[in-house]
Amino acid sequence: MTDTHTLAPPDFAAARRHMIESQLRPSDVSDPVVIAAMAVARREDFVPAAQKPLAYIDRAVTLAEGRVLNPALSTGLMLTRAELSGNDKVLLIGAGTGYFAALLAGIVAHVVAVEDNHALVEHARAALASTANVSIIESPLQEGHAANAPYDLIIIDGAVQQVPDAIIAQLAEDGRLLAGVDENGVSRLAIGRRRAGAFALVPFADTDIAPLAAFARPKSYSF
């Protein structure tokens, strides 16, 4: 006897609503502009086909070669703290498959999204092909993209052990930089402003965000 039953396709719209109501709103992601962006962006379009059913889980989703799509909560918290303006020019470092860039694109003037993994770049370019205010740049993450500097906002979508001076120099005066920080294996979100040449990151939330190897401190050796 032939089994003719088939599984119903996932209801991604319902999963997106559940993400907002169960993951974001209870954890201080309540800015209506951020919520609206995350209600529209199809997170399932930014993960590999085999991972689509996991697109809205409350954990990171595996992409490729050690890279992940960070949990929606870390993304939402960063967007909420970023003080986004419709006139902002934003540098996004660690663009991955383009989800964070898609969220920013609906809020700010222009997004320069840098990614060093070719497969992820190709995915991002395909997913954002119709998004006119996003430029996907394939380049080393730790270099940023000085050609379009200065930026009102820089977001590093991952946990770092250090932020290179070359990236801080790409911030406009009073520009904001958000990143995860990796402190002995504990990840936190942090924000800093460039003022009179000075810059420091200040943690504001403990949450899961994957480390970016490009921003690890050089190992020291003893002899």
In this predicted model, what pLDDT tens digit does every residue of 66-113 receive, in sequence order?
899 999 999 999 999 999 999 999 999 999 999 999 999 999 999 999
Rounded distance between C-alpha atoms, residue 51 and residue 49, angstroms: 5
Burial class (CB in 10 A: 0-12, 13-18, 19+), 198: exposed
What is the pTM (predicted TM-score) of this model?
0.92
Chain segment 44-59, per-residue pLDDT in tens: 999 999 999 999 999 9
Average pLDDT over residues 206-217: 91
- Classify residue 142: in a domain, yes or no: yes
Domain that holds residue 78: 12-215
Between 10 and 56, the more confident residue is 56
Chain segment 113-162, per-residue pLDDT in tens: 999 999 999 999 999 999 999 999 999 999 999 999 999 999 999 999 99
Closest Cα to residue 97, out of 17, 145, 150, 41? Answer: 41
Q: Residue 220: pLDDT above 80? A: no
- Classify residue 118: in a domain, yes or no: yes
DSSP reduced 3-state for 171: strand
DSSP reduced 3-state for 27: helix
Domain total of the chain:
1
Which region holds residue 74: left if phi is over 0, alpha if psi is between -120 and 50, else beta? alpha
CA distances from 73 to 27, 167, 200, 220 (A): 8, 25, 24, 34
Average pLDDT over residues 160-168: 95
Average pLDDT over residues 190-208: 93
Using H for helix, E for strand and C for coil, what is the string for 78-142?
Answer: HHHHCCCCCCCEEEEECCCCCHHHHHHHCCCCEEEEEECCHHHHHHHHHHCCCCCCEEEEECCHH
Q: What is the pLDDT of residue 222?
A: 45
- Classify residue 5: in a domain, yes or no: no
- Classify residue 123: in a domain, yes or no: yes
Rounded distance between C-alpha atoms, residue 114 and residue 170, angstroms: 13
Here the tokens at position 96 are 């991955």
- Classify residue 77: in a domain, yes or no: yes
Q: Residue 5: pLDDT above 80? A: no
Is-cis flag, bond preceding 150, omega within 30? yes
Q: What is the pLDDT of residue 66?
A: 84
- Classify residue 3: in a domain, yes or no: no
Looking at residue 169, which CATH number applies to its domain? 3.40.50.150
Please identify which residue in the block is written with the tokens 């490009």: 214
* % of residues, the chain, pLDDT over 90: 87
- Classify residue 81: in a domain, yes or no: yes
DSSP reduced 3-state for 30: coil
Q: Residue 26: pLDDT above 60? A: yes
Average pLDDT, the chain: 93
Q: What is the pLDDT of residue 183?
A: 81
Distance of CA 151 to the CA centre of its chain: 16
What one-character-per-residue DSSP string does 150-168 give?
-EEEEEEEEEES---HHHH
- Classify residue 158: in a domain, yes or no: yes
Rounded distance between C-alpha atoms, residue 79 and residue 100, angstroms: 9
Average pLDDT over residues 5-19: 84
